[in-house]
Every structure is written in C-alpha cells, then in structure tokens.
C-alpha cells in the first residue's frame, strides 16, 4: 500500500544527451512538495520529466522512488502519474472511462471504479458530465480530467508538463488553486514544468536550480544543462 505522505523521489547523477547538449540532474523531492522546473525554452525540462517517467531512458545515474530503483523499469511499472501538456485524453473513451483508465487496467470492477472517481469529479465540478465525450470538453476541463486520471492511478510521484499553458489567464489562476487543493488530497512529490513565474509563486513550494555549464571532454566542449536543489 502506498503512503502518499511519505514518498521520496531521488535522482542521482542522472544524465542524457539531448541533441547538441546534455542534461544532468541531482535532487530529491519529498511528499507534500510541489517543485517547479523553470528554465529557458529547449533547456531539457520536458526531457527530464520523460526520463523520470520512463518514457525516455537515462544514459547514466540512478532514479529511486521510495527506495525502489526504478532507473530501468518501463513506464507502465513505475507508478508515476504524468500530466501531458496537451492533456492526452483518450478520445475513444468518455470522461469517466478516461479518469478510471488505470483502475480498469488494474481490473478494478466498474462500480468500484466509478465510486472511486466520483468524489474527485464532484470536487472539480465534472460529476454531471461524467459520461460526456472528452472531445467536447474545454481546455480547463481537459486538464482537470488529465490530473484526476493521473491521481486515480495512485501514483507515488506526479509529473506535470506545463499544465496551464493552454489556458487563459482567468482559468489559469482558478486551476492553480484547484491543483494545490487536489494535491493536498494526494500529497505525493510533485514536479511541474512551467514558464510562468505566477505558477511558481502560487503553486510551487520550491523550485529546482538550473545552470548551463560548458564541459571539456576529449578536447571538445559540450554544453551541460544541470538541474539541482
């Protein structure tokens, strides 16, 4: 059984070459923390999330989640919730089928799945549209569905890739509040990518430090983008 209140993500000497530069990461995130990953465009923020989630492989280093070494585990076995920038809802499934997708994979009976999802949908004002097609949802609704879908998989870590980027400013501030509220209900470590300082100020408990360094190796220089705390 996962204890959402005592989770810990630890990245040690993670590195990966992404195009013309390398990214490196060394940090820890604990339960209850919401850490912002801020940096210029193309510095490797999304790549880092993809490495942690297992969608891409690291070239070196170690990722531990609750003392489990997950460095070489495939994405589907890491127990990490990932909210994509474009929400990535499944258009062939309706709203409730989307949010309970992970429970269906775990073979949880339908009635139980829906019972588990209902409180989350009520909290986010989506309960009355639970059987609607996700293709008719607004940008804000899509992001909420994606977030609940990730939480209902009972992840040990939450990763959010620019979760508010497609929303207008009024909706953004509402969504920020809602995200903090929802995270308090499932307070696993949370790491999110953003470009907006307002997101950092209203959501993050801390931010990762970011450095761009130049390393010499075999008489050639290469840029290293490093994320650390």
Partner 1 sequence: MESGAQVRSSTFLRSSASLWILLFFTGGIFLPIGALLELILKEPAKTVGRLALFDPQILSVVTFTLKQALLSTFVSVLLGLPLGWICARSASPRMQSLLQILLALPYGIPTVVVAMTVTAWLGNSGLLASLGWGYSLKAVILAHVLLNAPWIALGICQAKVQIPRAQIEASETLGANFWQRFRWIEWPHLQWSLFSSSVQVFSLCVMSFALVLILGGGPPVETLETEIYSRIRLGSLDLRGAAACAFWQLLLTLIPWVTLHWFSRRAKILEKATPCFDPRRRTFSWVPALLASMFLLPYVTLYRFAALQLWSTSEFFNEISGPLAVSLKLAGAVAVVTLLTALSALISRPSLKGADLLFTLPAGISILVLGLGFWLAYGRWLDPFEGSFTAMLALQVTTTFPLAYRSLWALSQGTQTPALEAARTLGATPVQAFMTVEWPRWRGPILRVAAVAAGVSLGEVAAVSLFYSENLVPIPLLISRWMGQYRFQEAQALAVFLLIACTALTAAVATSGTFLRRQDRLS
Binding mask 19-58 for partner 1 (x = CB under 8 A): ----------------------------------xxxx--
Closest CB 5 distance from partner 1, rounded Å: 22
Give the C-alpha separation, 133 to 19, whole Å: 38
**DSSP per position, 169-216:** HHHHHHHHHHHHHHHHHS---EEEEES-HHHHHHH-SEE-EEEEEEEE
The residues in 120-159 that bind partner 1, with binding defined as CB under 8 A, are: 135, 146, 149-150, 153
Q: Would you say 58 or 200 has its CB closer to partner 1?
A: 58
Q: Tokens 């903090």 appear where?
A: 180
Closest CB 178 distance from partner 1, rounded Å: 20
For 18, phi and psi rounded to 5 degrees?
-125, 100
Q: Would you say 40 or 74 has its CB closer to partner 1?
A: 74
Distances (CA, A) of 203 to 5, 35, 172, 182: 18, 9, 11, 11
The residue from 74, 109, 119, 125 that contacts partner 1 (CB under 8 A) is: 74
* Helix 169-185, helix 139-152: angle, nearest 10: 10
Give the C-alpha separation, 227 to 48, whole Å: 9
Binding mask 157-196 for partner 1 (x = CB under 8 A): ----------------------------------------
Q: Which residues bind partner 1 (CB under 8 A)?
A: 53-56, 74-82, 84-86, 88-93, 101-102, 104-106, 135, 146, 149-150, 153
């Amino acid at each position: 059984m996962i204890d959402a209140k005592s989770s810990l993500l630890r990245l040690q000497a993670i590195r990966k070459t992404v195009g013309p530069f390398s990214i490196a990461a060394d940090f820890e995130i604990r339960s209850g923390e919401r850490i912002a990953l801020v940096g210029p465009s193309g510095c490797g923020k999304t790549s880092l999330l993809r490495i942690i989630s297992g969608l891409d492989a690291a070239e070196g280093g170690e990722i531990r989640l609750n003392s489990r070494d997950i460095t070489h585990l495939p994405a589907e076995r890491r127990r990490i919730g990932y909210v994509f920038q474009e929400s990535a809802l499944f258009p062939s499934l309706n709203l409730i089928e989307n949010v309970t997708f992970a429970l269906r994979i775990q073979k949880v009976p339908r009635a139980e799945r829906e019972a588990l999802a209902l409180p989350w949908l009520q909290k986010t004002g989506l309960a009355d549209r639970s059987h609607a097609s996700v293709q008719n949802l607004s940008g804000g609704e899509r992001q909420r569905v994606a977030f609940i879908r990730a939480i209902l998989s009972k992840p040990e870590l939450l990763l959010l890739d620019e979760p508010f980027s497609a929303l207008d400013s009024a909706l953004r501030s509402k969504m920020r509040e809602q995200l903090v509220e929802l995270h308090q209900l499932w307070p696993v470590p949370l790491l999110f990518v953003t470009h907006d300082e307002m997101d950092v100020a209203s959501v993050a408990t801390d931010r990762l430090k970011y450095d761009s360094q130049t390393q010499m190796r075999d008489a050639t220089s290469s840029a290293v983008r490093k994320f650390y705390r």
